[in-house]
């Protein structure tokens, strides 16, 4: 496999003006637009990776596809030793959809449908100890998709999290809360709905999938589908004022996670594979996900409209500047080969990226599926 051709960084300048992440946590540790990158394959399997707070480990699942219940595993990046975190808990308690590190080293997981919700889109949120030696503790909440976790604990104790969820009436909330306690009695309190979306009412922004706490934890960045033309975009909400800010004016922008200084993001998008297509806002998503994205956004398309995007225009990884310059650097070239680079996350120090590569039906990428580590040098 010619790794250089598939992952050779390409710097692209674009006239993208957007709302910047105005409060920066720290200067960027590297120049994301000029630094060479080293890429290595860690495993031939793995989904939904996340970084430990100190950047020495990653956690992930052995799912075969997005949304599947699967056991959680942890890798020590120095020794490359892998251990199953949850196999001993059995399939009823040990299988999860997503797993995240908390700042104190414990875990937050989603698994199965939220027991308190009739919507299959809401997965139950649970606390799991760092040793995974007890049953996951249900936090009496459910999340659709990703969960944002503050990078540091609150001064008074606990950690802030944010999540999106669907109500029984089909409307959507973005909620924040504080996770406190551990052992057998962790609680998710101080809950507050910071954004509400009703599909029956006019408005451009639809549901909110929480991605990151930004601006020194004063804002939450979230992914949404804009209406009426389906277009995946990133916004942030000021948790004090409720003000909403669109983070990029580029029509090609899509899902993105913030690097530690908030001025740059790691974008997963099809800006390379479908830059001007009529369905570019959603054509990068798997066909099985597209219908519920449209339903969540309250968008009804003419019969056959979704088929115009076939075959899927898969994602590559890009660095995008939120500093007002709109610079874009393409990091991977797998969509050119029919593959998909996604489920990515920047490391806590901003110097590395973990991501998944899906080969799909690509002959050029056959046997290359798995977890990858990219390092800015």
* Domain coordinates in residue numbering, the chain: 3-376
What is the three-class DSSP state of 204?
Answer: coil
> What fold characterizes domain 3-376?
Neuraminidase (2.120.10)
- Residue range 58-110, pLDDT digits in tens: 999 999 887 799 999 999 999 999 999 999 999 999 999 999 999 999 999 99
What pLDDT does 24 receive?
Answer: 45
CA distance 295 to 254: 18
Is the predicted pLDDT of residue 312 greater than 70, yes or no?
yes
* H-run or E-run covering 253: none
pLDDT (0 to 100) of residue 235: 98
- Cα 154 to the chain's mean position, in Å? 23
169-194 tens-digit pLDDT: 999 999 999 999 866 689 999 999 99
Q: What is the pLDDT of residues 7-54, one digit of tens each?
A: 544 333 233 334 555 444 567 789 999 999 999 999 999 999 999 999
- Give mean pLDDT, residues 154-168: 94
Alpha-carbon torsion (322, 327, 331, 334), positive or negative: positive
Percentage above 70 pLDDT, the chain:
90
**How far apart (Å, rounded) are the C-alpha atoms in residues 214 and 203?**
24
């Amino acid at each position: 496999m010619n790794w250089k051709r598939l992952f050779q960084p390409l710097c692209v300048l674009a006239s993208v003006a957007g709302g910047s992440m105005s409060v920066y946590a720290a200067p960027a540790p590297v120049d994301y637009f000029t630094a060479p990158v080293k890429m290595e394959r860690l495993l031939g399997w793995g989904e939904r990776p996340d970084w430990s707070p100190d950047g020495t480990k990653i956690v992930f699942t052995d799912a075969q596809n997005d949304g599947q219940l699967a056991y959680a595993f942890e890798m020590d990046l120095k020794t490359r030793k892998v251990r199953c975190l949850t196999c001993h808990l059995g399939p009823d308690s040990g299988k999860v959809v997503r797993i995240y590190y908390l700042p104190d080293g414990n875990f937050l997981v989603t698994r199965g449908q939220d027991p308190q919700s009739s919507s299959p889109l809401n997965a139950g949120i649970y606390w799991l100890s760092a040793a995974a030696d007890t049953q996951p503790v249900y936090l009496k909440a459910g999340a659709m998709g990703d969960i944002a976790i503050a990078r540091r604990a609150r001064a008074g104790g606990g950690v802030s999290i944010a999540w999106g969820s669907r109500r029984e009436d089909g409307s959507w909330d973005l909620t924040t809360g504080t996770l406190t306690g551990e052992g057998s009695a962790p609680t998710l309190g101080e809950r507050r709905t910071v954004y509400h979306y009703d599909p029956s009412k006019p408005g451009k922004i639809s549901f909110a999938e929480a991605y990151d706490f930004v601006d020194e934890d004063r804002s939450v960045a979230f992914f949404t589908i804009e209406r009426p033309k389906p277009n995946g975009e990133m916004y942030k909400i000021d948790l004090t004022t409720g003000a909403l800010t669109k983070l990029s004016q580029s029509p090609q922008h899509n899902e993105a996670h913030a690097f530690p200084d908030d001025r740059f993001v790691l974008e997963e998008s099809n800006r390379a594979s479908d830059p001007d297509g009529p369905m570019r806002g959603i054509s990068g998503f798997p066909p099985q996900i597209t219908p519920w994205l449209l339903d969540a956004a309250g968008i009804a398309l003419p019969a056959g409209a979704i088929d115009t995007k076939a075959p899927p225009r898969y994602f590559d990884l890009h660095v995008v500047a939120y500093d007002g310059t709109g610079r874009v650097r393409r990091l991977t070239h797998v969509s050119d080969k029919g593959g998909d680079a996604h489920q990515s996350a920047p490391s806590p120090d901003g110097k590395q990226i973990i991501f998944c590569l899906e080969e799909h039906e690509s002959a050029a990428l056959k046997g290359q599926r798995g977890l990858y580590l990219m390092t800015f040098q």
